[in-house]
Amino acid sequence: MNWNRITYPKPIQKGSCIGVTAPSSGVEPKHEARLNLALHHLEQRGFRYREGKCLRGDKKSVSAGAQERATDFVSLWLDPSTDMIFPPWGGEFLINLLDKLDFEKLAGTRPKWVQGYSDTSTLLFALTTITGISTVHGLNLMDSILENDDSLTSKSFDWLALSAGAKFEQASSPYFQTEFEDFSKDVHAKFKLEHKTTWRNFKGEERITLQGRIIGGCLDTLRNLVGTPYGDIPRFASRLKDSGLILYLENAGTTPAEVCRTLWNMRFAGWFEVVSGIVFGRSAAPDATTSEELSYEDAIEDALAGTDLPMILDADIGHHPPQMTIFNGSMAQIESSNGQGKLIQALV
């Protein structure tokens, strides 16, 4: 596949059609009321939507078999009336449909925005690094209800309305959430933003500024792509010779020991030779409780020792929302100082 620049799909506007499918976990009956609410709110925002065949229902952590899920995704992608694909949430096993997707065929058609996080980032990462088509790491459909009106979440659709060449800025949130609400008990459950946001510079620097094209996703799922055609960061970097790369990683449930092994695996695969800095989102995983145990930060320090890469911790990315909207492949500038952060992206 021959490309050397990032491609940005057509902007999302009122009247655009959003395809909804679950390439990983489906929506169980107890959560369908929340799904219906999120779909209704898409209409209230002025969008149309089309449901895929793999969405309602979940068995053994997936909405359907791998081939069925892949076919459903491709059907929405190839549908000329669909402008975006928006999964309800992540899950566990999106990885098993990657080899059932013809990325060259997808790249040869009109691109569509695909947005989400968690296991959805497995697909986002592969799609952008293989085809050069920008994808969006950010809000999941099930969290896109109008009640979530904080400054980061409420502007997610505004950024999707931007055309190639546009530039926009996001600032770190004042507060974040640590525990998700049960949608089956409260269909209108919104984020509970009760904990103060504090970005940290890993080595205690007063200020860190990172520049380059940005790429990343969920550590728990991306670690399984290292060394495969779906996780070839050095090859991705070689196509984009105009800048370095900023890598962002968010941890859903990976233990410190697994984090350490994962980062070493990335290091052996050459990931850290082609990035200019790393941004870690707020970790949602259990951490060490005593100084005798390996901590999350110990794991990072062990695996990244000697690289001299600037690193930022606790950014607005991942399973402790709200989170920034990140256009994979975009030209980014990230600043972190005094506990606050800023992300500027240019769609070039």
> In the numeric block, which tokens belong to residue 106?
């997808």
Homologous superfamily of 175-346 in CATH? LD-carboxypeptidase A C-terminal domain-like (3.50.30.60)
Structure tokens at 232: 């070839």
Positions in the chain short of pLDDT 50:
none
17-164: what fold?
Answer: Rossmann fold (3.40.50)
Q: What would the pLDDT profile of 89-98 be if each residue is shown by its tens digit?
A: 999 999 999 9
Query: What integer pLDDT is reported at residue 241 of this predicted model?
Result: 78
pLDDT at res. 225? 98
Q: What is the amino acid identity at position 112? A: K
The pLDDT score that the predictor gives to residue 330 is 98
pLDDT recorded at residue 2:
85
Token representation of residue 310:
């600037």
Residue 272's pLDDT is 97
Q: What pLDDT, on a 0 to 100 scale, did the predictor assign at position 282?
A: 98
pLDDT number for residue 280 = 98
Tokens 């770190």 -> residue: 172
Single-letter residue type at 292 = E
| Site of tokens 């904080």 | 150
What's the pLDDT score for residue 181? 87
The reported pLDDT for the residue numbered 87 is 98
What's the pLDDT tens digit per position in 173-208?
A: 999 999 998 999 999 999 999 999 999 999 999 999
For residue 278, what pLDDT is reported? 98
- Gyration radius of the chain over CA positions: 19
pLDDT computed for residue 244 by the predictor:
86
Structure-block tokens of residue 243: 């800048």
Q: For the chain, which residues make up each domain, given as ranges? A: 17-164, 175-346
Tell me whether residue 53 is exposed, middle or buried, using C-beta atoms within 10 angstroms of its C-beta: 0 to 12, 13 to 18, 19 or more.
middle
Q: 347, 162 in Cβ contact below 8 A?
A: yes
Q: Are 281 and 248 in contact (CB under 8 A)?
A: yes
User: Which pLDDT value is given to residue 63?
Assistant: 98
